[in-house]
Amino acid sequence: MKFHTRFALFCTLAAGLMAAAPARAADTYKIDPVHATAIFRISHLGSSFVYGRFDDVGGTFTADDQSPANVKFDVSIKADSVDTNSAARDKHLKSADFFSVNEFPTLTFKSTDVKSSGDKKYDVTGDLTIHGVTKSVVAKVEFVGTADGSAMKMGFRAGYEAHLTIKRTDFGMDKMVGGVGDEVQLTVSMEGVRQ
Amino acid sequence: MLTSSDLIFGVILPFALATVILAIAWRPWKRSRGTPGLWGGPVACGVAFAAAFALLQGPRHLFPPNSAIMWLFFVAIGFTLLGLIDALVLLPRTLGAILVFAAAAGGAGLLLKFNFINQNWDALHGVLWLGAIAAMTAFWWASFEQSAVGGSMTAPLAMAATGGISALIIAVLVEQTTGQALGAMTIALGVAVVLMAWSGKATVARGTGIVVAGIGVSALAAAYFISSLPLQYVLLLAFTPAALWVGRVPAISRLRPWLRSVVQIALLLIPLVVAAVLAVLQARRDATMGSDPYV
């Protein structure tokens, strides 16, 4: 085989390998709101759990499969996108009695420290701000995977899923505690497009 | 979901406080002897609202206020003090109007300063909105005050109706706690009506109008700007006290006092009842099952 043929074959093989390559070190991704979901679970009268979601999730994250210390999250959620499948309840949640969305329009999470806790699993410490109150929390985060959607003009993508439990009274939201639980379980699943 | 705390702090306590305060101020059992203290009305209404609001919200969030709505407590205290001053020293009307305007503008500024922080308002829009709220407060005060002359029952009935229906609308549509606290103020006005009838001499002129106007308009402003109460309810409630000025129309002013009062209250009730019915229908539409969205 002539040299230029072998070289062309090598380049083709390398390109094919790169298409399936994992995320490069310390790449920044912009969260795709269409493929990001934030849901929460809270107890009602101690007899069941009510689930709700926030429909507007945005922000950025930095993925680095070589060094967890470089992983970062800067997530923001629009408070007035809360949806619990009840117009009356959603209005009350958006009012001054709960989220007061006109005054505190966004919920934010900014990571400050990341530690590996297993294969593709992390304990992410960060500042969570809800209702104007900022608390340091630890979220259990799992790296889900990557995909190269370039052929479909979707860009290179990576995704994480985060889980954490908070007490809403820690954030100044203490209406109807007793009837509606204090502990809230949050799950945020996010897919980002590499920038 | 109404709890025992709602009943105690929102109904029983305000009733007890208002009864004690008005009984001390007016001593209705003395009827023909002594002069009822004008301070009773503003203090009873202001304390009823402030106590209910603080206890229903939770006192730990008041000092310092952890959100905009908490400033409503301090606004209520401010108007209660201003109403007390008016009752004790009988402020000249012009000075009273200026002080009511200034207090309302300042109170609204504290209540709604997040609009400046969040850059929802620039300086011009902020001044216009605060000015409008202050002007509306002065309008309410003037409307109530001119209808309270001569110990007429028109004023306390009008204030109770306006406050009560505002409380209902705010509670069912947006903010349960603020609505309950306004309801507490309405309970105090209800006690005032009963004791005025017993006393025969007591009046809510001088001071009570300042408190009801200040707290009522501030609560409406909070419900609109903080909790997005639909504008149609704000407009219906805001201009309702205009009905009280019909008592100055010559054909109406010549009527007997009780009949004049009936006309004024009837005209006042029309927009209030319309607003209340619309609000209840809206709340039922929004609820998924029955009238309690948490069922």
* B177 touches B8 (CB < 8 A): no
Q: Which domain holds residue B52?
A: 4-230
Q: Is B279 helix (H, G, I), strand (E, B) or coil?
A: helix
Could you tell me the two tokens for B163? 């406050």
Say if A41 is an interface residue toward chain B (CB within 8 Å).
Answer: no
Residue B291 has pLDDT above 70, yes or no: no
Residue B175 has pLDDT above 80, yes or no: yes
Question: Is the pTM of the predicted complex or chain greater than 0.90?
Answer: no
Name the β-bridge partners of A194.
Answer: A29
Query: Within 13 A of B166's CA, how many CA atoms are on the CB side?
Result: 33
- Whether residues B228 and A102 touch (CB distance < 8 A) is answered with yes
Does some domain include residue B44?
A: yes
Spans of chain A, pLDDT less than 70: 1, 3-5, 7-25
In chain A, what residues touch B222 (CB-CB under 8 Å)? Answer: 96
Quick one: pLDDT at residue A24?
A: 60
pLDDT digits (tens, 9 = 90+) for B6-47: 999 999 999 999 999 999 999 988 876 777 889 999 999 999
User: From 3.40.1190.20, 3.40.30.10, 1.10.600.10, 2.40.128.110, which CATH number describes the A23-194 domain?
Assistant: 2.40.128.110
The percent of residues in chain A predicted with pLDDT above 90, rounded, is 68
Q: Quick one: angle between helices B71-89 and B40-57, nearest 10?
A: 170
- Whether residues B226 and A88 touch (CB distance < 8 A) is answered with no
Mean pLDDT over each residue of chain B, to the nearest integer: 92
Give the residue ranges of DSSP H helices in chain A.
3-19, 87-94
**CA–CA separation, B81 vs B88, rounded Å?**
11
**CA–CA separation, B194 vs B29, rounded Å?**
12
- Whether residues B67 and A94 touch (CB distance < 8 A) is answered with no
Alpha carbon A126 to chain centroid distance?
12
Q: Is A190 helix (H, G, I), strand (E, B) or coil?
A: strand
Nearest by Cα to B206 from B127, B92, B60, B46: B92
- Whether residues A95 and B174 touch (CB distance < 8 A) is answered with yes
Residues 117-176 of A with CB under 8 A from B: 131-133, 172, 174-176
Nearest by Cα to B113 from B95, B129, B97: B129
Quick one: pLDDT at residue A7?
A: 62
**CA–CA separation, A105 vs A92, rounded Å?**
15
Cβ neighbours, 10 Å, residue A60: 16
pLDDT digits (tens, 9 = 90+) for B79-127: 999 999 999 999 999 999 999 999 999 999 999 999 999 999 999 999 9
Contacts of B256 (CB under 8 A, 6+ apart): none
pLDDT digits (tens, 9 = 90+) for B230-266: 999 999 999 999 999 999 999 998 999 899 999 999 9
- Whether residues A132 and B294 touch (CB distance < 8 A) is answered with no
Does some domain include residue B255?
A: no
Does some domain include residue B291?
A: no
Q: Quick one: angle between helices B40-57 and B13-26, nearest 10?
A: 160
Say if B295 is an interface residue toward chain A (CB within 8 Å).
Answer: no
Cβ neighbours, 10 Å, residue B278: 16
Does some domain include residue B278?
A: no
**CA–CA separation, B26 vs B40, rounded Å?**
7
Minimum-distance CB partner of B175 among A95, A133, A180: A95
**CA–CA separation, A77 vs A54, rounded Å?**
7
Structural domains of chain B, count: 1
Q: What is the mean pLDDT of residues B212-221?
A: 98
CA torsion through residues B155, B158, B162, B168, sign:
positive
Residues 44-83 of A with CB under 8 A from B: 44
Quick one: pLDDT at residue A140?
A: 97
**CA–CA separation, B265 vs B252, rounded Å?**
13
Does some domain include residue B241?
A: no
Give the residue ranges of DSSP H helices in B69-200.
71-89, 93-111, 114-117, 123-147, 154-173, 176-199
Residue B290 has pLDDT above 50, yes or no: no
* B207 touches B39 (CB < 8 A): yes
pLDDT digits (tens, 9 = 90+) for B57-91: 988 888 889 899 999 999 999 999 999 999 999 99
